[in-house]
Amino acid sequence: MSFNPASPLSAAVEPARTDSTRGIAFMALGFFIFAAVDTQAKFLTATLHPIQIVWTRQLGLFLGVLVLLAVRGLPVLKTRSPLLQMSRGFLAVGSASLFIIGISFVPLADATAITFVAPLIVTVLGALVLREPVGPRRWAAVAIGFIGMLIVVRPGMGVIDPAALFILLAATCFALRQILSRVLSGEDSIETTVAYTALAGSFAITLPLPFFWHWPGSTQEIVLLVSIALMTAVGELMVIKALMVAQAVVVAPVQYMMILWATMYGYLVFDQLPDLWTWVGTAIIVASGIYTLQRERMLRRQETKNTEAAMKAARGS
């Protein structure tokens, strides 16, 4: 998924030192890997249930967290908001499950384009739930972005399978996860958030697994399942590294490169290419998303300056 279901992006704390070039490189590599994971998942939906695929995907994160716990110990799990952390994990597997169900019917590039509305949904939810200030420019960008999404989907025209609704629901779950991340921001470390996402998500997706499990019937299926688990863990590590060396607002736009990887994989593996209107809609969504990210970056920078000025004034008095 473009805005990866397991990514702790918006839960990141700002690094003490920043290296934007390395951060962008790590993020680009991470989402290149996630595009490959999505491609393998779509291929496997022809023979395996999405729940089993998501469980395998989650297994990579789970094993990675076990290693983290072995190295750092149980203090990694210390949090003041366990229910919110677990809810975030549940939303992660919900988002992943909905997305993989969707891509079993929808071309990969089209599905990726639809998920790009996630940051716009975050803006709406941030204003409605967290009471974050959103000016007319950002509201206009959100409205334009949703118009772009309608151009991609073209409801009622029979261009894209109605299963695209699953993709939109996946993006909504992801946005809700981001809202929880903002609530948790400053309370827990990246490692703690990743650990709860992996553990709670693995628990949630394991419960229904017996009803959908099907033993892989070929070596190809086994290889792809193992590849999904390992590549998910590596991709997640790349995202975490990116967030450790660079600011989230700098590396976040790199995720939009997913449309290029999804298009490439979609063509090479499934012989599918987006049509002209899908590209037009995608361009509108991406432009709107980048604009909202940059506006948020400017506003947060201004808030930091105002806070520093207030602290200086307090010290001077």
Please report, rounded to a whole number, the percentage of residues in the chain having pLDDT higher than 70: 89
User: Would the CA dihedral through 183, 121, 302, 136 be positive or negative?
Assistant: negative
Where b means 16+ CB within 10 Å and e means fewer, 274-302 reads: beeebbebbebbbebbbbbbebbbeeeee
Helix axis angle, 50-72 relative to 219-245, nearest 10°? 50
Instruction: Give the helix, strand, coil percentages of the chain, each rounded to 5.
Output: 80, 0, 20
What gap in Å lies between CA 109 and CA 272, rounded to an integer? 8
pTM score? 0.80
- Which of 40-49, 136-145, 176-185 is modeled with the greatest confidence? 40-49
Distance in angstroms (rounded) separating the CA atoms of residues 75 and 83: 17
CB of 28 within 8 A of CB of 203?
no
The per-residue pLDDT for 52 is 94
Look up residue 1 and give its amino acid: M
| Residue 211 in this model has a pLDDT that exceeds 90 | yes
- Give me the residue spans of the domains in the chain: 9-123+162-276
Q: What is the pLDDT of residue 158?
A: 67
Give residue 241's pLDDT band: very low, low, confident or very high (50, 70, 90): confident
Q: Which stretch of 40-44, 123-127, 201-205, 226-230 has the lowest confidence by average pLDDT?
A: 123-127
Q: What is the pLDDT of residue 14?
A: 47
Alpha carbon distance 276, 75 (integer Å): 51
CB of 269 closer than 8 Å to CB of 43: yes
- Tokens 């204003």 locate to 127
Ramachandran sector of residue 272 (left: φ over 0; alpha: ψ -120 to 50; beta: rest): beta
